[in-house]
A and B are shown apart, each in its own frame.
Chain A
Amino acid sequence: GAGVSQSPSNKVTEKGKDVELRCDPISGHTALYWYRQSLGQGLEFLIYFQGNSAPDKSGLPSDRFSAERTGGSVSTLTIQRTQQEDSAVYLCASSTQGADTQYFGPGTRLTVL
């Protein structure tokens, strides 16, 4: 079946612009996660959604970062006023409720000039 999909695959933006990254989880998966992979920081957790519960935002690095999950499916990660240090690969993952295995999408490579 279809895996986790993310769009765009690559995004180049100028410092100060806003960007939106999209994630489509595996059908039927109720849990959705965002991670960031960068050279300096490795793989970091950003945010977690589970059904209609309040999201766990404990990993968001600043208030410029926000995420939504509409209808319990698609999620959008928004970065406002991008900075060069936001350059990274943003990975989305999903899992079934209560399951432990997270399945990852191919990622969006963000470059801030």
Chain B
Amino acid sequence: AQSVAQPEDQVNVAEGNPLTVKCTYSVSGNPYLFWYVQYPNRGLQFLLKYITGDNLVKGSYGFEAEFNKSQTSFHLKKPSALVSDSALYFCAVRGTFSGGYNKLIFGAGTRLAVHP
């Protein structure tokens, strides 16, 4: 079965410090991985994705993520956090052909709080 785990309910970081939001996945075959961000009372905004190629993927708002096949991880990172980065972050994997190829399977979400 396909699944995504975000082990931290909340991550706290001081403004200007680097941030990491963790994600691990379980899927047969090559994974298609995504990060989305959700601000209060808003829908999900796409940040970045990994399909193939370089393990380090750069996305919107200065975020990047590193795909690690051996650790089945896709952690979201940013070198210098901003207060405005405070939001709910979701990691997702695209389903495999037998399990629903077009749906996204989401983690439970991690709330990022950046303190001034």
Contacts and interface: CB of A to CB of B under 8 A. Distances in A.
Interface of A: 4, 6, 31, 33, 35, 42-43, 45, 48, 50, 56, 58-59, 91, 93, 100-107
Contacts of A107: 42-43
B103 interface: yes
Given A56-B103, A59-B103, A100-B94, A106 B51 contact: no
B27 interface: no
B103 A43 contact: no
A102 B104 contact: yes
A100 B49 contact: yes
Interface in B10-45: 32, 34, 36, 41-45
A37 to B, nearest CB: 9
Contacts of A31: 102
A50 B36 contact: no
Interface of B: 32, 34, 36, 41-46, 49, 51, 90, 92, 94, 100, 102-109
Contact of A45 (B46, B104, B109): B104
Contacts of B105: 45
B61 to A, nearest CB: 16
Nearest to A100: B32
Contact of B43 (A56, A100, A101, A106): A106
Contacts of A33: 102-104
26 contacts: A4-B43, A6-B43, A33-B104, A42-B107, A42-B108, A43-B90, A43-B92, A43-B106, A45-B100, A45-B103, A45-B104, A50-B102, A56-B100, A58-B100, A58-B103, A91-B43, A93-B44, A100-B34, A100-B51, A100-B94, A101-B49, A104-B36, A104-B44, A106-B41, A106-B42, A107-B42
